[in-house]
Amino acid sequence: MDFGSTPEAIENERKRLLLYASAGLGSLFLGTFCLLSFIQGRTLLAVILLLFLCVVFLCAFLARVLKQVQPVCLFLGLVLYFLSSYLLLSGGASGTGAYWSFAITMLMVLLVGPKVGVLYMTLFLLTNSLALYSDLPFVYAYSDINASRIIATSLTLYTLILASEWIRVASYSAISTTSESHREQANTDPLTHILNRLGVQSQLQSQPLQLPCTVAIIDVDNFKQINDTHGHDFGDQVLVKLADTLQRHTKGGDIVGRWGGEEFLVLLNDTSPASAAELIRKIKRQFTSNPSLSDGQPIAVSFSAGIASLQQIEDFEAALKRADQRLYQAKEQGRDRVVFSRGDAVLPQ
């Protein structure tokens, strides 16, 4: 059973199942009491129950064919409001309608949710309380004590069900927020605060690229030597600086991530390899023109990059492999350069 992956989708499927359950239980109880009412000669009650039964089946059918079921829930909730009011005020069979109104109104709140449920229940209690103590001819002749007990019981049950729904919604919201926070932590590199490898892969699944696009793999030159000579804190400073520089020079729809170690991945939407090479060269000039400081001394740091074109998202791994091969070529050619086609290089300027 697929409930979806977002809070909205999960809640939508929950209400869809609730509509199906309502149709199943409604067909059992409404159908049974409709038949008994016909047999016992209570024709009006039987017709009304049959009408409501048809509405319940209609709502179940709409829940099956419609993508969003909230409008169906609101409509069925209103129908249940009138059914419950009718059973309570008419007395149903020998005054037992009040008992069924309790269950029906609780189902109504479950369908519409706590916010709309407060409105429905407030109207239900006000209108039916006034009617129970009126002299209207269609209202069942409950004794004053029984009418008071019905109102008190209704108020207690509705307070409990509404409180339960509010708690459920608040708890689910807290769980959703915590889950989203954990997901973000799992997808984010803690040092540079950009996407990590898992985050890039997740974003590729959720965010369509504007094809054709370009894949660039960037690797800090001589990073092990930098760490050995100047310390890991300086190495971390270099990685953070490069991540910030990449983010400042890319568009909102582009993807920038730390692919691993001192290696970064950049996906540039709707960009040719030549244009991407010019952009990466511009980034490299910006990166090297502001050297990082180690013990107050500026230390020149460069990077190499390999670039490949991506025509279809299914070819991502192949494009990644080509970009990695061109990064290797850039390293072989002396580092501090960008290779975007076999044998060609864009040298630093």
Residue found under tokens 């390293």:
331
To the query of whether residue 262 is one of the catalytic residues in this protein, the response is yes
Q: What is the DSSP string of 165-189?
A: HHHHHHHHHHHHHHHHHHHHHHHB-
Contacts of 213 (CB under 8 A, 6+ apart): 267, 268, 269, 270, 271, 309, 310
* 120 membership: H or E segment, kind and range: helix 114-132
Q: What is the DSSP string of 224-250?
A: HHHHHHH-HHHHHHHHHHHHHHHHHTS
Q: What is the DSSP string of 254-314?
A: SEEEEEETTEEEEEETT--HHHHHHHHHHHHHHHHHSPEEETTEEE---EEEEEEEESSGG
Nearest to 85 by CA among 51, 47, 127, 148: 127
Tell me how far CA of residue 222 lies from CA of 229, 238, 302, 326, in angstroms: 11, 12, 9, 17
* 119 membership: H or E segment, kind and range: helix 114-132
Strands 292-294 and 344-346: unpaired
Phi, psi of 27 (to 5 degrees): -65, -35
* Structure token pair of residue 166: 């509010």
Q: What is the DSSP string of 81-99?
A: HHHHHHHHHH-TTTTTHHH
Catalytic option among 262, 263, 278, 314: 262
Active-site positions read: 262
